[in-house]
Amino acid sequence: MLALLSVSAHGLSVPAQLASNPALAKTFRRAEFWDEGSATLLDLVNVLGRWQTSSQWSTRTEFIECDVREMTDLQAYSVKRYEMALRLGQVERVALFQNTAKLPFSDEGLAKGCGMTAKDFKDLALNPVAINIVFDALAQSKNSLLPVEVCDARRMGLVSTDGSLNEAAFSVSLVKARALVIMSWFVFGKGNLIGLLVLLKVVTDATGVGGNFFQARPPSLQRKHSGSRLGLCKIFFYFSRLCTNQLSFLASGSPEF
């Protein structure tokens, strides 16, 4: 079960429906965009079309017991996490993973939006990466818990008035999730060091205080520190461009999201 949280879709065969409708082949990635694997638009519909409310999949009967003192991914599968979610009135990412495959595809509106019928989805393989992406969009973050009423309301918001998938709404939700992940990385992760260096540089440029820190150094020190400084600059540039690209998606669109 645990493998589902990070499994990729490399082994899945390409459905024939993608050949007749290339728009369904548009690919999406998780909020944690560096994770391996992706899912097509058809894969996402295959997940959402199996349920309308979270009550259809929120109940769990399979658990993995582990030491509460161990901070591992297995904690998400424990009965204590499930009981906590019930007390808080929240649904779990793990529950969606465990139960989606048990539900038949029944949403004719979503199927029609793909030029298909619900019956056409009967033998379509379920992409586990798509389950993660769907929960990312519902949570608008990488969180593993989500309030029941929020989950149900956002699920409704992903469907257009004609019953088809509202791709724009889904993409916006995924942008929000990805932006939060990037922001958290800079605030709480290793990225905060890069952000601090950039802030110090701005302050020194504006005030002139401590400017010598960024000035030329003796050759021996330059050789020692130039590599690490260049690496930090490259990383900062990469993430800055990534943030810009994700936000510009709303205006220009992208073949892979």
Confidence (pLDDT) at 75: 87
pLDDT of residue 13: 46
> pLDDT band for position 198 (50/70/90)?
low
The answer to whether the predicted template modeling score (pTM) of the entire model surpasses 0.85 is: no
Annotated domain spans of the chain = 2-166, 190-252
d(CA 93, CA 57): 10
State CA 130 to chain mean position distance: 10
- Is residue 39 pLDDT above 80, yes or no? yes
pLDDT tops 60 at residue 3:
no
Tell me the C-alpha distance between 48 and 65, whole Å.
29
Residue 193 banded pLDDT, cuts 50, 70, 90: low
Summarize pLDDT for 80-116 with one digit per residue, the tens: 999 999 999 999 999 999 999 999 999 999 999 999 9
Is the pLDDT at 8 greater than 50? The verdict is: no
What is the β-pairing status of strands 27-28 and 90-92?
unpaired
d(CA 203, CA 209): 8
HSE (side-chain half, CA atoms, 13 Å) at 109: 13
Reply yes or no on whether the pLDDT at 121 is more than 80.
yes
pLDDT at 245 over 80: no
Residue with tokens 């009550």: 55
Residue with tokens 């993430």: 239
Which two tokens mark 227?
């590599």
- The predicted pLDDT at position 252 comes to 39
> What does the alpha-carbon distance between residue 42 and residue 50 come to, in Å, rounded to a whole number?
13
Judge contact between 140 and 180, C-beta under 8 A.
Answer: yes
Q: What's the rounded Cα separation, in Å, for the pair 34 and 230?
A: 22
Please give the DSSP secondary-structure letter assigned to residue 165.
Answer: B
Q: Which of these, 105, 101, 90, lies nearest to 51 by C-alpha position? A: 105
- Region 174-198: what's the mean pLDDT? 74
Q: What is the pLDDT of residue 65?
A: 83
CA distance 82 to 144: 11
